Amino acid sequence: MMKQAAKHSRGRLQDPKGGLAAAGRVAFHRKSGSHLKPGVMKPTAEITPEEMCRKGS
């Protein structure tokens, strides 16, 4: 029963499109103390060089 509850709550932390949802970033911050930024979703023409490094593709 515990595994099902953990699996279900993990689904809210992950974005269906990939990466972490806002709740997942908050949970990661509580666990490790680091600050994660949300993923870059802009079109390629509007991305700055800093965002291009974060995008990863």
Enumerate residues 6+ apart whose C-beta is below 8 A from 13. Answer: 20, 21, 23, 24, 27
Confidence of residue 1 (pLDDT cuts 50, 70, 90): very low
Four-residue CA torsion sign, 23, 25, 31, 35 = negative
DSSP codes, 13-50: HB-TTSSB-HHHHHHHHHHH---PPPPP-S-GGG--HH
User: What pLDDT digit, counting tens, does each position of 5-42 carry?
Assistant: 555 556 788 878 777 888 999 999 999 998 888 878 88
The C-alpha angle 7, 29, 21, rounded to 5 degrees, equals 50
Q: What pTM was computed for the model?
A: 0.58
